[in-house]
């Protein structure tokens, strides 16, 4: 899953750079509920901002599992943290956290990639309008994935039956 996560991140950065090369100087950066552009900015600022957001999200998801083991337990929000953060279980915790963060990161970057491609398409069209027939189902799938991911995360960090 790590490689998919990294590839999805790189695809998003590539789209931001392509957008910089192919879009006009003024681009739509926000769309209303009807898909019509209602916020505008410069292409350069948008590309820099989106790239910075992608780098921030990638860094957060890539490095947070190791950070969880280095910060005081009182700052960690994890089910059964006394068990999972204890020294004998830290290796398993780190492995689980990596897989969960990388899988969520891959899904998030896939959703952002779809959104970026739709925004690119909208900015190349006249009139500038986001394709809601693609965006809304993509949003629904991402939200459903997020719900399922959250449930699996909580279930995964239950205490094993022999430790209860």
In this prediction, residue 29 carries a pLDDT of 93
In this prediction, residue 162 carries a pLDDT of 63
Q: Tell me the sheet residues that pair with 30.
A: 39
Number of domains comprising the chain: 1
Contact present, 129 and 36 (Cβ < 8 Å)? yes
Q: Whose CA is closest to 9, among 154, 138, 116?
A: 116
In this prediction, residue 39 carries a pLDDT of 93
In this prediction, residue 163 carries a pLDDT of 57
Host domain of residue 144: 2-163
Global model pTM greater than 0.85: yes
Contact present, 125 and 83 (Cβ < 8 Å)? no
- The ranges of the chain with pLDDT < 50 are none
């Amino acid at each position: 899953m790590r490689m998919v996560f990294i590839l999805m991140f790189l695809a998003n950065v590539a789209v931001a750079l392509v957008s910089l090369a192919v879009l006009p100087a003024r681009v739509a950066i926000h769309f209303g509920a009807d898909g019509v552009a209602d916020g505008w900015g410069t292409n350069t600022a948008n590309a820099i901002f989106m790239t910075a957001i992608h780098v921030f999200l990638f860094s957060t998801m890539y490095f947070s599992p190791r950070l969880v083991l280095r910060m005081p337990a009182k700052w960690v929000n994890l089910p059964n943290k006394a068990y999972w953060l204890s020294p004998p279980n830290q290796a398993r915790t780190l492995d689980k956290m990596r897989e969960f963060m990388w899988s969520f990161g891959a899904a998030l970057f896939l959703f952002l990639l779809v959104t970026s491609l739709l925004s690119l398409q909208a900015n190349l069209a006249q009139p500038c309008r986001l394709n809601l027939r693609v965006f809304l189902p993509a949003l629904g799938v991402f939200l459903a994935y997020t719900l399922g991911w959250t449930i699996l995360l909580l279930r995964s960090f239950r205490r094993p039956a022999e430790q209860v």
